[in-house]
Structure 1
Amino acid sequence: MARKQSDYLAALLAEEEGDAPSPTPIREALADRSRGTTLLGRESALARVASGEVRQVTQLLLDPARVKIWSGNARNYDLLTEAHCRELIDSIIAEGGQKVPAVVRRIEGDPDHDYEVIAGTRRHWSISWLRANSYPDMMFVAQVAQLDDEAAFRLADLENRARADVSDLERARNYLAALTTHYGNHQTRMAERLKLSKGWLSKMLKVAAIPDEVIAAFASPYEVQLKPGYALAQAMQDKGEAHAITGVAKVIAREQAVLRDQGKPPIPASEVLHRLLTARKMMLGEDNEPQPYRYHNRYGRAVLSIQAINRQGVTVRLHSHPNADEEEIVTALRHMLAHLEETGQGLKR
């Protein structure tokens, strides 16, 4: 763990109330990190850091059904799958149970749940999956901590920084929600508390503002990374660009849905991004006049374009290319008709 991050962990305690425990035990716990770089060592250190912010820590074996995920965590629980958690599942089976405890806090007034997960979402999902798949006695191991929401957010964020499978979009939207909830919309204050660059945080918050209908153009939210996402967010600050990008995104989303239904590979993220960033250019020519509608295949090659629309009907051009097939052309025609309806130019006039 980097020195800067280690100092940040120790500061989690120093910033709390005067009666909070001394940060010395935390520095001792972090020193253990230098004696081992395994995931277990990192997670154990993280758990000990969590214990420094509480007045009492208890480790329990819990039924995961009685534990829910804290809404302030960045990870989207609904996106987790067996494939995403396969390595962790296999590790739990091999070790005869969960060895690294999650961090939870007790909740009141919820008849269906007794605790909520602050750090350890994948562990919760994996244990739940194992209980439903041949391991009904598997228990969720967790340390119970007393944390306010802002401290819980910082702890969850710290763990997520080390997780490659937490997408930039998930973290960005988590930051955007926390900005209002915990930091009164003060970006500088938030950056200071999280020990982040103000410029980097600003970029993340802009990416978080990309609307869902644009994100839907990508095969998965995991594909929306910070650098290309920021370029897209900047483009959408122009109203004309935003309108064009949103329109093209809807078309691409329909294409992605067809490919999924057919069991075919999705349109690559790089191609999606290119089509979105050039959306206005494709729709407007050099004279700033609307360009004909075009349907592109997953490789970016034009399959169909509208040549003219008038009272007599629609004139369509089908483009030839070596890999053209009848199914692709039919799909293009369907998307063209949907486009005409969306823009008020449908055939039913």
Structure 2
Amino acid sequence: MARKQSDYLAALLADEEMAETKAEKSAEAISESPQDAESPSPAPPRGERLRGTTLLGRESALARVASGEVRQVTQLLLDPARVRVWKGNARSYEHLSEESCAELIDSIIAEGGQKVPAVVRRIEGDPDHDYEVIAGTRRHWSISWLRANSYPQMQFVAQVAQLDDEAAFRLADLENRARKDVSDLERARNYAQALHDHYGSHLTRMADRLKLSKGWLSKMIKVASLPDQVVAAFASPADVQLKPAYALSQALDDRKAAPAILREAKAIARLQDEHRREGDPAIPANEVIARLLAAPERNAERTGGPVTYNSGFDRPALTLQSVNRQGVTLRLHSGSGMSLEELVELARCVLVDLELEGRGLQR
């Protein structure tokens, strides 16, 4: 019997024995009252009484378990290295970090261990793992991090459940709905995969099982279709929110607009990488969305004649005057309010965009 289960039954039996012992003492007090002093009844030896109450208590406890009045919940103390994360969970394990789990890590340290058990199920055929996490990915990551960082005694507390994949998905989804750190994109892609794996691509059936609006679920599935090339333009997948991402995914359905959006996404992704290397702030999500949605119109303007880029003061800063086989002609405007470094960065961005469109200096 598992340690937690045996402890639970032991405590249950202890309660029964304590109740029986109290009854014994009460009976002894009554038998010693003045009214019965003249005809005392001999009490059985204490050893026999204890054996009898122990057996009665044990039978009572087991009967309560068998009848369903008391439910046994098996909890295990596991080495997280022997537990893998179920691939059907929405949360992106590789994007978890000390920073994103800081509050949970501090709580585990303060409480001397993990108090809320994760939900796992047993697996077969994997020599490296015995269980997989259905709900509790952040707890698994945090315990793993603590064991690797000065807390080797920490163990992963888990409750074992017998679940098929569809039931496991619904359980994980219920937990993730309450978590703000699970992004819309993560959930959208998780739903899209589950729609195929568990519901035979029947959206109505899935919406009914999850108790979700069919319209809302449809939008989530649409957002899941965003290509990785576009997602890379954002500083983090967590920045991809449902409402603007849905508009972006609809724009990509336009065959004429899609190439310009994809080229712009590549250009922004390069800038994001440079900002990370230099330690500069990332390009915010609202600006990324605005640039991606404006890319088709901006591309049409470029092919039709000069294009002027304004500064943050809404003054002309740079004009792309011409692009031809002889080269690219840029005009920098005075009085734009931009510094020299900002003008150079703007010119570089324009040249990178042209390069991605196949109209740059390297063609």
Residue in structure 2 matching 1:189, options 205, 225, 239: 205
Deviation at 1:340, TM superposition (A): 3.9
Q: CA RMSD in A?
A: 2.6
Residues 1:343 and 2:357 aligned together: yes
Q: Greater Rg, structure 1 or structure 2?
A: 2
Deviation at 1:300, TM superposition (A): 10
Query: Contact 2:267–2:356 at 8 Å: present in 1 too?
Result: no
Q: Tell me the SS of whatever aligns to 1:84.
A: coil
Query: Contact 2:263–2:357 at 8 Å: present in 1 too?
Result: no
Residues 1:325 and 2:340 aligned together: yes
Q: Tell me the SS of whatever aligns to 1:158.
A: helix
Deviating more after overlay: 191-200 vs 257-266 = 257-266
Residues 1:96 and 2:112 aligned together: yes
What is the rounded CA distance, in whole Å, between the counterparts of 1:189 and 1:75 in structure 2? 23
Residue in structure 1 matching 2:162, options 146, 163, 169: 146
What is the rounded CA distance, in whole Å, between the counterparts of 2:233 and 2:190 in structure 1? 21
**Structure 2 residues without counterparts, runs of 5 or longer:** 1-67
Q: Deviations over 1:243-271 (max 9, x none)?
A: 22111111111111111111111111111
Q: Tell me the SS of whatever aligns to 2:100.
A: helix
Please report the TM-score for the alignment, with normalisation by the length of structure 2.
0.74
Are the structure 2 counterparts of residues 70 and 303 from structure 1 closer, same or farther at C-alpha, using a change threshold of 3 Å? farther
Q: Tell me the SS of whatever aligns to 1:74.
A: coil
Deviation at 1:318, TM superposition (A): 3.1
What is the rounded CA distance, in whole Å, between the counterparts of 1:302 and 1:243 in structure 2? 27
Deviation at 1:331, TM superposition (A): 4.1
Deviation at 1:159, TM superposition (A): 0.3
Instruction: State the identity as a percent.
Output: 69
Deviation at 1:305, TM superposition (A): 4.7
Residues 1:206 and 2:222 aligned together: yes
Give the equivalent residue in structure 2 for 1:232: 248
Letter in 2 for 1:151: A
Deviation at 1:237, TM superposition (A): 1.5
Are the structure 2 counterparts of residues 312 and 304 from structure 1 closer, same or farther at C-alpha, using a change threshold of 3 Å? same
Q: Deviations over 1:92-128 (max 9, x none)?
A: 0000000000000111111111111000000001001
Deviating more after overlay: 189-198 vs 334-343 = 334-343
Query: Contact 1:282–1:291 at 8 Å: present in 2 too?
Result: no
Give the equivalent residue in structure 1 for 2:62: none
Residue in structure 2 matching 1:313, options 327, 334, 359: 327
Q: Tell me the SS of whatever aligns to 1:240.
A: coil
User: How many residues in Structure 1 have an aligned counterpart in Structure 2?
Assistant: 293
Give the equivalent residue in structure 2 for 1:82: 98
Q: Tell me the SS of whatever aligns to 1:109.
A: coil
**Structure 1 residues without counterparts, runs of 5 or longer:** 1-51
Q: Deviations over 1:151-187 (max 9, x none)?
A: 0000000000010110011000000000000001000
